[in-house]
Amino acid sequence: MTGGPIKVLVIDDSALMRKLIPQILEKDSSIQVVGTAMDGTFGLRKIEDLHPDVITLDLDMPRMDGLETLRQITRSYHTPVIIVSAHSTSGATLTFKALSLGAFDFVAKPRDAASAKMDDIANELISKIKVAVRAEKRKVLEPPEDVPTKAIKPLVRRKLPCSKLVVIGISTGGPNALQFMLSQLPGDFSGGIVVVQHMPEGFTELFARRLDETCAVEVKEAKSGDMILAGRVLICPGNRHIKVRRMPLGDIVLLTDEERVNGHRPSVDLLFRSAAQEFRSSTIGLIMTGMGEDGAAALGDIKTAGGLTIAQDETSSVVYGMPKAAVEMGTAMKVVPLNSIAETLVTFVQHSRPIPDPSISVGD
pLDDT tens for each residue of 179-220: 999 999 999 999 999 999 999 888 999 999 999 999 999 999
- The Cα 17–Cα 84 span in angstroms is 10
The pLDDT value given to residue 136: 53
Look over the chain and give the mean of its residue pLDDT values, rounded to a whole number. 90
pLDDT value at 362 more than 60: no
Say which amino acid occupies 18. R
Cα separations in angstroms, 332 against 109, 243, 313, 352:
35, 21, 11, 20
Architecture in CATH of 6-134: 3-Layer(aba) Sandwich (3.40)
CA distance 277 to 224: 19
pLDDT surpasses 80 at 12: yes
Residue 357 pLDDT grade (very low, low, confident, very high; cuts 50, 70, 90): low
Residues 6 or more apart whose CB falls under 8 angstroms from that of 262 comprise 269, 293, 294
Residues 6 or more apart in contact with residue 350 via CB below 8 angstroms:
186, 189, 190, 191
With 90 as the cut, is the pLDDT of residue 118 above it?
no
Active site residue 198: yes
What kind of fold does domain 165-350 have according to CATH?
Rossmann fold (3.40.50)
Query: Active-site residue 120, yes or no?
Result: no
Strands 192-197 and 218-221, by their bridges, are unpaired
Catalytic residue among 53, 251, 294, 313: 294
Which range has the worst mean pLDDT, 121-125, 186-190, 295-299, 350-354? 350-354
pLDDT tens sequence across 249-265: 999 999 999 999 999 99
Choosing from 85, 171, 190, 274, the catalytic residue is 171
Percent of the chain with pLDDT over 90: 77
Residue 232: strand, helix, or coil: strand
Active site residue 294: yes
Domain boundaries, the chain: 6-134, 165-350
Lowest mean pLDDT segment, chosen from 24-28, 109-113, 339-343: 109-113
Phi-psi region of 103 (alpha: psi -120 to 50; beta: other; left: phi over 0): beta
Among 105, 190, 198, 241, the one annotated catalytic? 198
Q: Please give the model's pTM, rounded to 2 decimal places.
A: 0.91
Residue 86: predicted pLDDT: 81
Handedness of CA 232, 322, 276, 362 (dihedral sign): positive
What does the pLDDT read at residue 251?
97
